[in-house]
Amino acid sequence: MKAAIMISLLATSIFANAKDYRVAALYWSMDIEGQVAMRKGVEQRAQQITKTTDDKILIEPYVAGNGREGAKRQIEQFYSVLKDRTPVDLIIIQPTDNSALIGPLQLANKLKIPVIAYDQYILGGELTSFITSNNYQAGKLNAQYIEKLYPNDYEIKLILVEYPRVTSTIDRVEGFIDTFKKVHQNFKILKSYSAVEPVGGKKVGEEILKDFPDKNSIDVIFTINDGGGLPIVEVLAKAKRNEIKVATIDGDPRSIQNIRDKKLTVINSAQFCSQIGRESMQAGYDFLKNKKVSRRMLIPTFPVTTKTLGSYTGMEGELPKAIKLPWSKKRWQNQIKRFE
């Protein structure tokens, strides 16, 4: 009889500790493959937590969209979540802009609502945790591969397609350029353009053809993501500018296929986008359960080339095993860097 009472009390205690957690998930957009995969990771981990614990994670999704209108919409969405009469327990956000969200982040801090940011950082406030790809590494891996294709004293004619409004893309460009300088690779930046999504990418591709119409006037184009980079490849391939080598970042399946087909793209430093989402949701849940959470996490990127295709698990996959890079004496490591 006493044993039955004890079991009943234990079950009651466990049930009493169970909780429904409301999570506002503020996504950037749903028309870039990597961003879709990040969202899948967030929601998959939330479902897993709900299935394997007594708690329930209830996600309330918001999608901002691209461009200035998207950035403006995300500010409004962030404030709307904070002004809800019933506060959410957690906010997970992929910021559209580094500095535009200072106001709502500071208000969240004042209301003591934890904020997990992934992919991009937010300046001017306190984040509970920030999870992103090792973006500096992504640019570095691209440059390490490209410089092996040319003698050091050859001046590589380089085009940059960047996006200086968010930390991740800034870090990618810095990793690329710093590596060229470190290995003393001679290069000249012919021109820089800005594109991060398909419409902007197509426009930039057409501008590149107009600005550099002659074959062999460009050696390499470095694009900071596949969202803007894929349309550039399509425009250039259609114009038969196959002499150009494209180095890019993300791991979009279409870009990986371009590598297989030897269609301009020679390397893609691929993200494990769903892993970013999974780690973000896990960090948020751990914080809610009063567990220690890393203040910053860097997920490694993987250099996909014709020689490493077999090791890549896809942007929704788990991290592959460590491998030796065919063009380098160094090994690619599959470790997540965590900072307290």
HEC assignment per residue over 204-245: HHHHHHHHCCCCCCCCEEEECCHHHHHHHHHHHHHCCCCCCE
Burial of 202 (0-12, 13-18, 19+ CB in 10 A): middle
Q: What is the pLDDT of residues 125-135, one digit of tens each?
A: 999 999 999 99
Res 177: pLDDT: 98
What six digits make up the tokens of 240? 């038969």
Tell me the pTM.
0.88
- Under the banding of pLDDT at 50, 70 and 90, the label for residue 14 is very low
Q: What is the pLDDT of residues 152-181, one digit of tens each?
A: 999 999 999 999 888 889 999 999 999 999
Higher pLDDT, 12 or 39: 39
Eight-class DSSP state of 39: H
Res 10: pLDDT: 46
In this predicted structure, the answer to whether residue 2 has a pLDDT above a threshold of 80 is no
For 18, phi then psi, to 5°, come to -65, 150
Res 258: pLDDT: 98
Mean pLDDT of the chain: 94
Instruction: State the chain's maximal CA–CA distance in angstroms.
Output: 90
Q: What is the pLDDT of residues 209-226, one digit of tens each?
A: 999 999 999 999 999 999
Res 16: pLDDT: 52
Res 165: pLDDT: 83
